Structure 1
């Protein structure tokens, strides 16, 4: 995609996320890798529902700001995924309700925050890890993500919300949506007898969809 097409896609998908309540106010941020090097990043203190395509931040391959408005103060979250997980083409950070609620519960398993209750969460999201709390805007969170050595495409920031990486923007958005909807199912089923996919079923999905 050209840079202009990527900007338009960021605006379109960001508005969709905002209008369906996956982000509120100026929360959430999105980045996309640009062909030939560099990154587009939603600006700091911007609303995902009202982005200006021309104002979206442009960073070079070394993460220097070279165009548009100033990038999100949480750009280090995005950089950590690009640098630690090969094949990352886009990163989506939201404050979606149910995934954020999971990040606040003391009994959420930090090694496996979302149980494999549907094939789609396995196919599109994979194992979700939790990283320790850090103040928003603190670059240490990027170090915590790097500490996972690229083993997870999705993380929950403790008491903060989800960050999801994908091969492209559409894939990252779909995965972030799947994570939120599965988190909602987790809450709906709390206290109820439920089934999870077996280890063999999860392995078969991972092999089939090359996670």
Structure 2
């Protein structure tokens, strides 16, 4: 895909996410890994709704700015996911409301933040890990992500937001949207003892779609109930 098309796609998806309220103000960032090992990255302090293709940051494989505006300060977390997941070609980081809210709940298991509520939640985002709080731009967040050893394509940063990796930009956007919707469902149904996917249903999804789940046996409730919230 040409450089100009990649730039246009980043701006188009960024605007879509912004217009639907998934990343307000100048929050959130997107990166794409290029064939030469460099990146295209959204600039620091830039609104995702008003990105300029010509001003996107172009970095070399060592993270040096080659052209465009200075990149987002969240480069360390992007770098950590690229380094530990070789298949990753695009990353989306948002400050989406429901995903952030879930990170603040006391019952959350950091190994598997959300129960298996919908098939597409697993198919798009897989299982999601929770990273402890670090201030935005703190290089230590990269160490925390590297500690996951590439097992997760989606993580939630405590009190901050989701970070999702995929093989395409479209895939990363879709997975981030699905993660936000799953978080919203979790909050809507919290304390109501809803039915989640059963272990057998999860196993069927894994077998049918070749899903790689870090904790395939970690399913909430052997009867399909989403236990662990407010029993």
TM range (shorter): over 0.9
Check if 1:144 corresponds to 2:144. yes
Q: Is the 8 A contact 1:2 1:35 kept in 2?
A: no
Largest Rg, 1 or 2: 2
Cα deviation digits, residues 108-160 of structure 1 (max 9, x gap): 11111111010001100111000111111101001100100000000010111
Give the whole-Å Cα distance in 2 for the aligned partners of 1:140 and 1:74. 11
Aligned to 1:32: 32
Cα deviation digits, residues 23-69 of structure 1 (max 9, x gap): 01110001011123211000000000000100000111122211111
Q: Is the 8 A contact 1:89 1:169 kept in 2?
A: yes
Aligned to 1:96: 96
Give the whole-Å Cα distance in 2 for the aligned partners of 1:203 and 1:85. 23
Give the whole-Å Cα distance in 2 for the aligned partners of 1:141 and 1:181. 25
Aligned to 2:196: 196
Aligned to 2:107: 107
Q: How many Å apart are 1:171 and its aligned residue?
A: 0.1
Aligned residues: 211
Give the whole-Å Cα distance in 2 for the aligned partners of 1:61 and 1:2. 18
Task: In structure 1, list runs of 5 or more residues that go unmatched.
Answer: none
Taking structure 1 as the reference length, what is the TM-score of the superposition?
A: 0.97
Task: In structure 2, list runs of 5 or more residues that go unmatched.
Answer: 212-231
In the TM superposition, what are the counterparts of 1:10-29 in structure 2 within 5 Å? Answer: 10-29=10-29
Give the whole-Å Cα distance in 2 for the aligned partners of 1:209 and 1:76. 31
Check if 1:70 corresponds to 2:70. yes
